[in-house]
Structure 1
Amino acid sequence: MRRESMPKPRRWRALLRLAVVLAAFPAASSLAADLSQQRAAFRRAFDAVEHGRDWKAEAPTLEEYPLLGALQALELARRVDKLKRADLEAFLARWPDAMASEDLRRAWLGIRAERGEWKEFLAVYSDNATRELSCHALSARLADGAKLTYAADIKPLWEGNHALPSACDGPVKWALEHRQLDTARLWQRIEHAAAAGQAGWITPLVALLPAADRPAATRLALALREPAVALKQATSWPNDARHRDAVAHALARLARREAASAHAQFLALQGRFTFSETQKGQVAAALALYQATEFGAEALARLANLPTPAQTDSTREWRVRVALAASDWPAALAGLDALSDTQKADAEWRYLRARVLTKLGRRDEAAPLFAAVAREANFFGFLAADWTEQPYSICALSVESSPDLVQSLRRTGLDRAFEWRAVGRGREARREWDHTLARLEPANRRVAADLAYREGWYDRAVFALNKGEELKLYEQRFPLAREPQIRRESHETGLDPAWTYAIIRAESAWVEDARSHANALGLMQLIPETAARVAKANKLPYSRPEDLFLPDTNIALGTRYLAQMAGKYNGAPWLASAAYNAGPGAVQRWLDARSALEPDFFIASIPYRETREYVARVLAFSVIYDWRMNGSAVALATRLPRYGQAFLPPSKSTARKKVICPAPLEPAAPAVATTRATPGA
């Protein structure tokens, strides 16, 4: 029975237990401690609880402290296996919205599920749980005599784009036994996993299939996991639909790493397997796509000649990129024409269409395209404005708030998030913030983001304001944090401060303790080994990787490493940004092949999507930060000198562009000018 329907005697018993639980914690001191005392006491108490010591001596100081509940939850979590439900409910009632409550609830539910205490489980379970707990809840309902249905209970788990935890085994077994799942639905999930490239999702499903179907599913998983091994074995596989599908997946996967080998094996296996036209197209598309990313001699023809059903957004996109890399303007225009409607609406392709039309001498057609794109505050919009000699279009909004609203929002849980940050617990601070923000209305989320910005917690504002009109909150999304240091370090290293800001914003979004999967650390995402070399070369203090979480150290080393990258390319920000992201070795390979391209076309031909988008993002952020710092901006075109030409950071005498917010309706843009500061000129 759920708490909502608990009869009055049980409610009174819960309240009594609440009093007992709270009585275990000493009463508040009559003397209110100031915040610094509370924080110091909390640190001592937290350390004591983590190490199994008594913390009650600190309790009088912490009675009114926002993180008292988190401290109590940590202590209760140490004995969660023995925690009575009523005691848990009492704690949840005291701290209903805290992240600590949700953590404690989930830990308690996990223990009850392990023990099969399903009535207790259902009494505390709430729908906003993890996938594992959701499956435990299905098991609890089955134990209570309920019947599940595919549409309401199984389908949300079965058709989702995720792996199923072992907790789902019981409900899945029940669904199979009661014909809520059958062989067709098992294969539906297996095929979904194959389309997502997830061999690990398939393996646990194999045993659920009829014996005759298991070899094909096992081989499909092998095709995804080890395509070369699968193709060697394929010569002995039967020529049926499922095995043909496994071979097609293996060929497509192998093409990503060894296109030539995949093509040779495709030709060899065609004599054994009667591939469908769809499967042939799948393999042909993979071969064409992965040859395209290496700019092979036949790549453009392969992409252009793909049957329509075999084409994807990726193959259509790369048809254009390969044509641009070859400076084949008619082929590029044909590729642009073949894009999907969704792709054609993207600013990149509208800008590139205008550029290609200009190359073909069709300036009158290019002009309105440039004018439309120039109204957007992004890399392509800024470049389009440069081509047409228009001011930059940036329309800034502000957050409407009030002191009463801010105080109200603080009480929803933001105060706990800010306190976690104040005591140096960044991970807990972000979790509490995200937990609280998810419960706020959109307008209040903006106010919360603005509050984080005002208090110097810049990354929370950046991540919170990420869609729709929120993107126009430039003050919060592009904070001028640590400005004296960034100006000083940029000046000392010969960098444009706006570019330094842009790198920080693109690398870490101002998360001071950011750590990437490659172990890059801090604001400017430096690899510790790189930081050590830069520190030694510049005689700067640095002793351990954790030093990179100190903003002063990170920015001092990061600006010098960025300047080192710039020095390799005559100061060109676009090439140095690419090298900062992908490494100078990759950039040199691209330059060896395509250095004669104009910079915007070169960027469009960067094989790594991450780097291609990173360079565009950094350069756009440079314009925005330039405007934020100076009220106007140096033309983005000047940041794109051709390879081999020198770039000098902007000075007081550098021409600057006006930034405006255009009216919703604007007269048609003039024809493309014949004399201008053009990108790469």
Structure 2
Amino acid sequence: MRLTFLSISLFALTLTACSSTAQSNKIIHSSPEEAEIEQSAVTSKPRVEYAPLKTVDMAARQSVVSAYDAMRMRQWDALPGYAYSAQNDHELGNYPMYWYLRQQLTSSQGFLPTTELKKFIKDNPRTYVADRLKAEWIIAAVKQGDYRTASTLGPVHINNSQAICAYNQALAASGQHVDSTKVIRVIKGNERCAEMVGALYRSGQLSKSRLTDLFRDAVEYDNKFMAKKYAGFLFDGTDFMQYQAIIVNPMQWLATQSGTAGSPQQAELRAIAFSRLARQDRNMGITILENRGPELLSAKDLQWAYSQFALVAVLNQEVRADAWYRLAKDSRLSDYNSAWRTRAALRQSPIDWKWVEKSIDLMNPEQKKETAWIYWKAKALQQQGKSSQATELYRLLQEQHDFYGQLAQEELTGKIVIPPQAAPVTDKELAHIKQNTGLQRAVALFRLGWRAEAVPEWSYAIDGLKDRDLLAAAAWAEQEQIFDRVINTSLLTKKEINFAQRYIAPFNGRVGQQARQVGIDPSWVYGLIRQESRFVQVARSGVGASGLMQVMPGTASLVAKQIGMYDFSPSKVNEFETNAILGTNYLRIMLEKLGGNEILATAGYNAGPNRAVRWRDNLTQRMDGAIFAETIPFTETRLYVKHVLSNAVWYDMLLNGKTSSSLKKRLGMVTP
């Protein structure tokens, strides 16, 4: 996937703030940023019913197909008729009415088809479509102020932040208890989540201090929509107008201020003004902060203001960021900013490992349990000669198979080995999982090419399954050549590990053959494709990248010209051969342009070669590859590089029959 933005946007980079996987009471799990799998509303037992596979009524199925075409053409009034004629399709016959009712809910200006909704939900128990309609109904009811209906319909059983927020808004507005600590974690930048926060605050279930933290984080992330919403909850009319003036021109507003703040609201506005100034003109801003900060801000707010300048500086890879973070002392930072405080310390020359350790200790209890920070704290202890403490932390990561688990394994044993593998899926297990009616629906949708409907059906159907059933579901996906579901389903297992599924290598070696033809490592190419598209040939990113290797249209045309592919046309970019040839050649070009360094070439493939060159040239001396990867300023590219190179280690063993491999060797050193 190519990055298209030209300058650092904190909001674009930071909607998820954490860094890796988290360990809670010695249990390590994936955090939102590093997680490889889609998040879902986890249940403890299977949601859907089980029934034997049956032959589909093809006339009824054709009605579903016709309804799908009508839905895509926005011919909503035609759908009830198709719903009637599709009734005998036991797998997908409920979809025409689902599409119709969903449209009624999402476009409603007042009237909600309550009778039809109740009937549909009653007639389709334990199905994704019923729970999705229920979620949409909750959103629509809350928009109309019907909190009683919304609270009765809940809780929400799918991973839909707007519905979850709407439901909890309804509870708070109705005077019912809400676990605010839990629901705050699901907040996304949308109207319903903003209004939920307001309802929690007004009902006394969210403190002003916590709301202020959310407000500051939104300002820091440059999330203008949520920041404005939170400001509306915190400030009255006059102060709110001052907030709007700060967003436009913080330097001009600060020029009107003098002396000690006259109220808590004014003190908060001043802190926010310095945060905005850090983004607009950090060079002039830091001078103002140093000269007037002690006059205008409290000691704590002054520390927080320094953290804002430090964040912008470290994202621009400036050495001075570390000094500013030290001036922030122990002030409360967002998870994202806390992570960058440690990364800034890692970029120093020489590295002050004691400060690295302290910066991690300053994180909140949950963040410091993430595998990234367990690993880097262990490294800090190791570098300070505290070997036994370092070893104890490395051992916490032994059962993690990601970037940090691999690095920890090398620290402990000097090599990376494939963990014990689960027994193969039996015919009996496969036959059993094929009775999962949710998976039956998902497979039927995949066969029709309707991925937008198929993926959530699949995720819903596997929620709550135990390890052996998950492996069987992945095996069924492999039979159907739905390779992204193979990987993502197998990744959910807790104890039963199957790397042949998690690191599947489809297409009969044709990818490896193409890689060898252009002179690059097949393991690296497989690792990249797994991250780019999960081997979905029709994958298309939000910025227009296409196919297995997610090649941008402009890049495809340029590479085709360079390698003499004279019959190239944009319509061919999703074809396997064309995409593989273009993608592997582009990766080879990146490798040659960036001195044969896989880290830089991987970063260049994702973010563009000029950015990779700039990040390299910002170095003042040779840097350990793991630190370079950890401190790439773009969140997407940082995660991308770590996933691709971690994938490549496993593929190297699986494809070449090796008993061990090394991530450290692959990372190497990055030289300016």
TM-score (norm 1): 0.71
Match of 2:44 in 1: none
Q: What is the letter of the counterpart of residue 436 of structure 1?
A: A
Residue 478 (structure 1) shift: 1.0
Whether the 8 Å contact between 1:508 and 1:514 is mirrored in structure 2 is yes
Which among 286, 300, 304 is matched to residue 278 of structure 1?
300
Partner of 1:43: helix, strand, or coil?
helix
Q: What is the letter of the counterpart of residue 218 of structure 2?
A: A
Partner of 1:308: helix, strand, or coil?
coil
Q: What is the letter of the counterpart of residue 242 of structure 2?
A: R
Which among 576, 581, 592 is matched to residue 556 of structure 1?
581
| Cα distance in structure 2, aligned partners of 1:598 and 1:490 | 27
Partner of 2:487: helix, strand, or coil?
helix
Which among 393, 409, 425 is matched to residue 417 of structure 2?
393
Match of 2:13 in 1: none
Match of 2:253 in 1: 233
* More deviation, 406-415/78-87: 78-87
Residue 429 (structure 1) shift: 0.8
| Cα distance in structure 1, aligned partners of 2:163 and 2:375 | 48
Whether the 8 Å contact between 1:200 and 1:221 is mirrored in structure 2 is no
Which among 312, 320, 336 is matched to residue 290 of structure 1?
312
| Cα distance in structure 1, aligned partners of 2:309 and 2:193 | 40
| Cα distance in structure 2, aligned partners of 1:523 and 1:62 | 37
| Cα distance in structure 2, aligned partners of 1:485 and 1:47 | 35
Which among 350, 353, 357 is matched to residue 336 of structure 1?
357
Residues 127-173 of structure 1, C-alpha deviations (whole Å, 9 max, x = no match) = 3277777898899999xxxx932535999889973567479989989
Residues 382-441 of structure 1, C-alpha deviations (whole Å, 9 max, x = no match) = 556667874423214327666367445544311111111101111111122223334656
| Cα distance in structure 1, aligned partners of 2:661 and 2:55 | 52
Quick check: 1:215 aligned with 2:238? yes
Residue 481 (structure 1) shift: 1.4
| Cα distance in structure 2, aligned partners of 1:581 and 1:69 | 41
| Cα distance in structure 1, aligned partners of 2:583 and 2:539 | 14
Residue 496 (structure 1) shift: 1.1
Q: What is the letter of the counterpart of residue 231 of structure 1?
A: M
Which among 304, 307, 311 is matched to residue 329 of structure 2?
307
Correspondence list, 1:66-465, <5 A: 66-74=91-99, 86-104=115-133, 125-128=153-156, 148-151=174-177, 161-162=187-188, 165=191, 180=203, 189=211, 192-197=214-219, 198-201=223-226, 203=228, 213-220=236-243, 223=246, 226=247, 229-236=249-256, 239-256=262-279, 258-270=281-293, 273=296, 275-296=297-318, 298-304=320-326, 306-309=328-331, 321-322=343-344, 324-329=346-351, 331-336=352-357, 338-340=359-361, 372=395, 377-380=401-404, 382=406, 390-398=414-422, 403=428, 406-407=431-432, 410-438=435-463, 440=465, 444-465=469-490
Q: What is the letter of the counterpart of residue 489 of structure 1?
A: Q
- Percent identical among aligned pairs is 22
* More deviation, 375-384/259-268: 375-384
Correspondence list, 1:501-520, <5 A: 501-520=526-545
Which among 486, 496, 515 is matched to residue 490 of structure 1?
515
Match of 1:25 in 2: none
Whether the 8 Å contact between 1:219 and 1:243 is mirrored in structure 2 is no
The structure having more radius of gyration, on CA atoms, is 1
Whether the 8 Å contact between 1:519 and 1:527 is mirrored in structure 2 is yes
Correspondence list, 1:570-581, <5 A: 570-581=595-606
Partner of 1:243: helix, strand, or coil?
helix
The 3 A distance-change label for structure 1 pair 480 and 244 is same
The 3 A distance-change label for structure 1 pair 216 and 446 is farther
Q: What is the letter of the counterpart of residue 421 of structure 2?
A: L
Residue 503 (structure 1) shift: 0.5
The 3 A distance-change label for structure 1 pair 141 and 166 is closer
Whether the 8 Å contact between 2:314 and 2:344 is mirrored in structure 1 is yes
Which among 484, 497, 503 is matched to residue 478 of structure 1?
503
Higher relative contact order at CA 8 Å, sep ≥6: structure 1 or structure 2?
2
| Cα distance in structure 2, aligned partners of 1:93 and 1:458 | 34
Whether the 8 Å contact between 1:374 and 1:393 is mirrored in structure 2 is no
The 3 A distance-change label for structure 1 pair 168 and 306 is closer
| Cα distance in structure 2, aligned partners of 1:613 and 1:89 | 43
Residue 246 (structure 1) shift: 1.6
Quick check: 1:622 aligned with 2:648? yes
The 3 A distance-change label for structure 1 pair 575 and 118 is closer
Q: What is the letter of the counterpart of residue 532 of structure 1?
A: S
Quick check: 1:639 aligned with 2:666? yes
Whether the 8 Å contact between 2:409 and 2:416 is mirrored in structure 1 is yes
Residues 648-667 of structure 1, C-alpha deviations (whole Å, 9 max, x = no match) = xxxxxxxxxxxxxxxxxxxx
Q: What is the letter of the counterpart of residue 336 of structure 1?
A: E
**What residue ranges of structure 1 are gaps of 5+ in the alignment?**
1-31, 646-681
Partner of 2:596: helix, strand, or coil?
coil
The 3 A distance-change label for structure 1 pair 352 and 430 is closer
Q: What is the letter of the counterpart of residue 272 of structure 2?
A: H
TM-score (norm 2): 0.72
Aligned pair count? Answer: 596
Match of 2:43 in 1: none
Residues 444-498 of structure 1, C-alpha deviations (whole Å, 9 max, x = no match) = 4454344323432221233344467369332221111124220221122111111
Residue 201 (structure 1) shift: 3.7
| Cα distance in structure 1, aligned partners of 2:210 and 2:602 | 44
Instruction: Note the aligned Cα RMSD (angstroms).
Output: 4.9
| Cα distance in structure 1, aligned partners of 2:57 and 2:665 | 50
The 3 A distance-change label for structure 1 pair 221 and 391 is same
Residues 193-229 of structure 1, C-alpha deviations (whole Å, 9 max, x = no match) = 33333543464577778xx833224434654xx2x61
| Cα distance in structure 1, aligned partners of 2:653 and 2:182 | 47
| Cα distance in structure 2, aligned partners of 1:522 and 1:159 | 34
Whether the 8 Å contact between 1:333 and 1:356 is mirrored in structure 2 is yes
* More deviation, 587-596/615-624: 587-596
